[in-house]
Structure 1
Amino acid sequence: MTKKNEPMDPLTPVLRPVRAGNGFEEALEQILQVVRLGLVAGGERLPAERELADRLRISRVTLREVLKVLQDQGLLESRRGRYGGTFVRHRPGTPVGGAEEELRRRVAGVDIEDVLRFREVLEAGAAGLCAADGLTGERAGRLRSALAATHDAPLVEYRRLDTLFHLTLAELSGSATLTAQYAAVRATVNDLLDCIPLLVRNLEHSQRQHTALAEAVLDQDADAAREIAREHCGGTAALLRGFLA
């Protein structure tokens, strides 16, 4: 059962049938993205094994191997009993000015400029496609619900719901490839964002941009939607460069 004002199924943009031959590796990649994107929040339970295996189209034996790896890495934990299952472990944030070793580990080897450019291309492309196609009915409702969730979000939940808003827009573009690529790059962006503080003024500005972006998409103004998406990505890029460059 989904929470009020959240997209119907936040895992849909990430979980998809894996290709034959690399079932274990691709399933591991997708469940890692679910965790890194915060699509299942810390302390919450993943879908049941049967459902996950069906959605990924892998055996439950393979799925259990994947879950065991992620448990060994400290990302998931298994609980027994009536209310048991596989749960996402809480990920402590990294405050600026402390835990420098963890910050360096996350940023090391990441070409920040490349990641930010690719994210902007995908965001602008998704926004333009959605606006050109025209979102009506259930699809328009999903975008409005994802937007409303970001406005109602407490500070500790904001980043997760912000991610869901952008993933929803990517999925509504109708391109499965774009959606998969966006999920991957957004996971990296979230790792970078975890290294900097949440700034209330920036979040308020982001909220206004989210609203303008959704309105442009729903008004079928593709040029405006692309431009707002680029501007929005530029703000995030400026913060990351300032803190991490």
Structure 2
Amino acid sequence: MSVDPDSTNSTSSTDSTAADRLTPVLRPVRAGNGFEEALEQILQVVRLGLVPGGERLPAERELAERLGISRVTLREVLKVLQDQGLVESRRGRYGGTFVLPRKDGGGEDELRRRVAEVDIEDMLRFREVLEVGAAGLCAAHGLTDEQAARLREALAHTQDAPLSDYRRLDTLLHLTLAELCGSPSLTAQYAAVRATVNDLLDCIPLLVRNLEHSQRQHIAIVEAVLDGDADGAREMMREHCGGTAALLRGFLT
């Protein structure tokens, strides 16, 4: 007899941790496009690496509730992702829907395809506007003690991250800032543009010197936000985005 994965997933610590990471991305969909918007959001979860390869998505019941869709619709979404080789369904006591490890970048052909599909300058400028705005709003409006703790924790995770996991945890830090600014619309737009940024970053090497510099900027941004220094937070975030933009332009244009 098969076992419904939800019967064992919903109370696991793995699911709870994954659910926390998904907060900036998952939100109730609008009526009329439930399937399409739910697919878009879960694709962002996968592309952003919020649930790493080999880990389990939250239980169907929880995902459906957070997206505001039926479990029938959710299963249709998960079927699409499974057909695309992005997730797999496992049955049994430790079953559920698991994200499959990403395949390699595909070499030069894949790089050219990705670059051809993106207006890099437009994407970089839009990203800067969103990131600078989010950092400034967080600093200007202030954070609760709980929000400040979340931001510090996200920063700490990037400081301890191995190279293989750095990009995912860097993404989580930036998504946390976007979420804490208080604008769900900005958060949604940032999640979408960040997924595109990550697709391009996957085409270039991780440079230790750049990561060390980037980490110093992360610390300065978080300190400015926590100090309520809106101008400082915006300026440091603008500089931080400029560094990423320079790398992408250098490698890809």
TM normalised by structure 1 equals: 0.95
Establish whether residue 195 from structure 1 lines up as the match of residue 198 from structure 2.
no
Q: 1:123·1:229 contact (CA, 8 Å) conserved in 2?
A: yes
Change (3 A) 1:39 1:88: same
Could you tell me how far 1:192 is from its partner in structure 2? 0.4
Q: Partner residue of 2:142?
A: 134
Q: 1:7·1:146 contact (CA, 8 Å) conserved in 2?
A: no
CA deviation string 1:180-209 (max 9, x = no partner): 000000000000000001111110001000
Q: Partner residue of 1:226?
A: 234
Q: Secondary structure at the match of 1:77?
A: strand
Cα separation, 1, equivalents of 2:161 and 2:38:
30
Spell out the pairing of 1:83-122 with structure 2 (5 A cutoff).
Answer: 83-94=94-105, 99-122=107-130
Q: Partner residue of 1:42?
A: 53
CA deviation string 1:48-85 (max 9, x = no partner): 11110011010111000000101111111111111111
Change (3 A) 1:115 1:56: same
Cα separation, 1, equivalents of 2:51 and 2:36:
20
Could you tell me how far 1:2 is from its partner in structure 2? 6.6
Cα separation, 2, equivalents of 1:70 and 1:57:
19
Could you tell me how far 1:108 is from its partner in structure 2? 1.9
Could you tell me how far 1:215 is from its partner in structure 2? 0.2
- Which of 29, 53, 74 in structure 1 is aligned with 2:64? 53
Q: 2:18·2:50 contact (CA, 8 Å) conserved in 1?
A: no
Q: Partner residue of 1:185?
A: 193
Q: Partner residue of 2:249?
A: 241
Amino acid at match of 2:59: A
Could you tell me how far 1:47 is from its partner in structure 2? 0.4
Cα separation, 2, equivalents of 1:17 and 1:8:
14
Q: Secondary structure at the match of 1:117?
A: helix
Amino acid at match of 1:15: L
Q: Between Structure 1 and Structure 2, how many residues are aligned? A: 240
Could you tell me how far 1:173 is from its partner in structure 2? 0.1
Query: In percent, how many aligned pairs have the same letter?
Result: 83
Q: Secondary structure at the match of 1:239?
A: helix
Could you tell me how far 1:105 is from its partner in structure 2? 2.1
Greater relative contact order (Cα < 8 A, sep 6+): 1
Establish whether residue 64 from structure 1 lines up as the match of residue 75 from structure 2.
yes
Structure 2 unpaired stretches of 5+: 1-12
CA deviation string 1:67-117 (max 9, x = no partner): 0101111111111111111111111343xxx71111122222200000000
Amino acid at match of 1:126: A
TM normalised by structure 2 equals: 0.92
Structure 1 unpaired stretches of 5+: none
Establish whether residue 172 from structure 1 lines up as the match of residue 183 from structure 2.
no
Cα separation, 2, equivalents of 1:220 and 1:212:
12
Amino acid at match of 2:154: A
Q: Partner residue of 1:148?
A: 156
Establish whether residue 73 from structure 1 lines up as the match of residue 87 from structure 2.
no
Q: Partner residue of 2:29?
A: 18
Q: Secondary structure at the match of 1:40?
A: coil
Cα separation, 2, equivalents of 1:228 and 1:216:
9
Could you tell me how far 1:8 is from its partner in structure 2? 8.1
Q: 1:7·1:168 contact (CA, 8 Å) conserved in 2?
A: no
Amino acid at match of 2:242: G
Q: Secondary structure at the match of 2:20?
A: coil
Q: 2:151·2:177 contact (CA, 8 Å) conserved in 1?
A: yes
Q: Secondary structure at the match of 2:75?
A: helix
